[in-house]
Amino acid sequence: MWASLIVILIVFSLVKTKIIHYSSFAYFPLVYLAALQIEQIISGQSQWNRISRNLFLLSVLIWTMVLIAIPILFININWLKELFSADPFALANLNARVAWSYWLIFSGLVVCIGYLFFRFYINIQQMKKGFLVMGLSSIVAIQIVLTFFIPRIEQYTQHAAIEFYKSLKGKDVYIRVLNFKSYAHYFYAAVNPSERSEAYDLDWLMYGKVDKPVYFITRLDRKNQVLQAYGAQLKLLYEKNGFLFYERKTY
């Protein structure tokens, strides 16, 4: 357990490639440490001092504001577009049509209300009830985020690409991403390992005598680099929400 915590919190903070899924490896040790601290506070082995109170309040305020702000910002999408005006890829992502509702700010209100009950129980020295209420409110907020926030955000970040990958699932084709890192096509297009070693060679996929159709995906902000290097070989199929989908012209 401690080894996993060290690996995630220290080693992965040093490497350049960041994949959010790596953090799941640290969930158990971090939750254990949090539960241990709560148990020690409830049992009186550790003090609920001013520093602890202020840090806890700060974290509640941050999460409340973030969870309330996210639906408001996406409903008023032009605010976000102004914020990312210098990033063509992000701007194109934000063109995705996604339905948001103001009721989603309830997730932030749940955290805030949970904290108010938490403070009430703490003030009357019922620490166990206080942490229980705070824990339950956090569970509700997390479930709202997982169920309603994440799928909507995914529609901005990678849904267009995943939609394309799924359309190629089960087809005998080559798929390759250009000038950005992604493993999504292996999963959503159900790409099987090729028996041909050349299939992993970009030059062969571009210029070689391939035996089946070849598809390429890149991002809008990498478009010029890709076209300068391989434009003569590529036929644009379509562009959607910051992603460009190409097919090799001949094979």
pLDDT for the residue 61: 96
Distance CA(130)–CA(122), nearest Å, equals: 6
In this structure, are 57 and 114 located in the same domain? yes
pLDDT for the residue 18: 58
Distance CA(22)–CA(234), nearest Å, equals: 34
pLDDT for the residue 20: 64
| Percent of the chain surpassing pLDDT 70 | 91
List b or e across 103-138, with b for residues whose CB sees 16 or more CB atoms inside 10 angstroms: ebbbbbebbbebbebbbebbeeeebebbbbbbeebb
Q: Is residue 11 part of a domain?
A: no
pLDDT at 4 over 70: no
In this structure, are 128 and 80 located in the same domain? yes
Residue 224 token pair: 């010029």
Run of H or E residues at 87 = none
Q: At what angle do helices 127-144 and 27-43 cross, to 10 degrees?
A: 160
In this structure, are 94 and 172 located in the same domain? no
Of the pLDDT bands very low, low, confident and very high (cuts 50, 70, 90), residue 216 is very high
Domain residues for 225? 162-248
170-191 residue pLDDT tens? 899 999 999 998 889 999 999 8
Angle (nearest 5°) at CA 111 between 73 and 139: 105
* CA-based nearest residue to 176, from 208, 210, 200: 200
If one counts the domains in the chain, the total is 2
Mean model confidence pLDDT for the chain: 90
In this structure, are 149 and 51 located in the same domain? yes
Of the pLDDT bands very low, low, confident and very high (cuts 50, 70, 90), residue 1 is low
The domain boundary, picked from 138, 157, 176, lies at: 157
Distance CA(164)–CA(243), nearest Å, equals: 10
65-118 residue pLDDT tens? 999 999 999 999 999 999 999 999 999 999 999 999 999 999 999 999 999 999
* CA-based nearest residue to 137, from 159, 168, 111, 100: 111
Q: Is residue 184 part of a domain?
A: yes
The DSSP letter of residue 192 is P
pLDDT for the residue 194: 81
| Percent of the chain surpassing pLDDT 90 | 71
Task: Indicate the SS3 state at residue 216.
Answer: strand
The domain boundary, picked from 157, 179, 197, lies at: 157
Q: Is residue 124 part of a domain?
A: yes
14-62 residue pLDDT tens? 666 656 666 677 777 788 888 999 999 998 898 888 998 999 999 999 9
> By CB neighbour count within 10 A (0-12 exposed, 13-18 middle, 19+ buried), where does 244 fall?
buried
In this structure, are 147 and 170 located in the same domain? no
pLDDT for the residue 48: 87
Q: Is residue 18 part of a domain?
A: no
Distance CA(181)–CA(85), nearest Å, equals: 23
* Sheet (strand 174-177) strand order: 174-177, 214-219, 243-248, 234-240
pLDDT at 251 over 70: no
In this structure, are 153 and 51 located in the same domain? yes
